[in-house]
Amino acid sequence: PSLNNNHHELLELAASFQSPPGRPATKSSSVARRVRGVLRQDNKPRFVSAFYQSNCGDVSPNVLGAFCTDTGLPCDFNHSTCGGKNELCYGKGPGYPDEFESTRIIGERQFKKVAELFNGASEQIKGKRQFKKVAELFNGASEQIKGKVDFRHV
């Protein structure tokens, strides 16, 4: 994968988080390590995040759409086919043709948005919240997870 063009910008964003007490902030620390360090501080409440996503479907990084490999034209939208065949229909991500670059770009976008939401948070959630997760497996079975999270003790 190519060098991240926004590497400096991401380091600045990570540097905006206060360094944990007793540890010097260094430019060599990874962005993830810097953010995790902030969230582990003893003088701050523990941080819990939840990001709702409906319609996972195809979770590949093909945000530019699907195109026919033989013609370069967009695939049939309703059936994801090219001339009636799905074998010729492939998605393209923001780093096309490099799928790893596409994945990195999308991960960076998600990180930036999470950091923005984290820095702009103004309301603490208290009390109990319920959650439910359903995963449809390819063998036709379903897996359900139900539970409760008590934010008073997190």
Residues forming the active site:
60
Q: What angle do CA 72, 74, 77 make, to 5 degrees?
A: 155
67, 75 in Cβ contact below 8 A?
Answer: yes
Residues 6+ apart with CB under 8 A from 143: 134, 135, 137
Hey, what amino acid is at 109?
R
13, 31 in Cβ contact below 8 A?
Answer: yes
CA 151 – CA 125 distance, rounded (Å): 7
CA 8 – CA 18 distance, rounded (Å): 18
Nearest CA-CA partner of 16 in 109, 120, 119: 119
Q: Report the length, in residues, of the chain.
A: 154
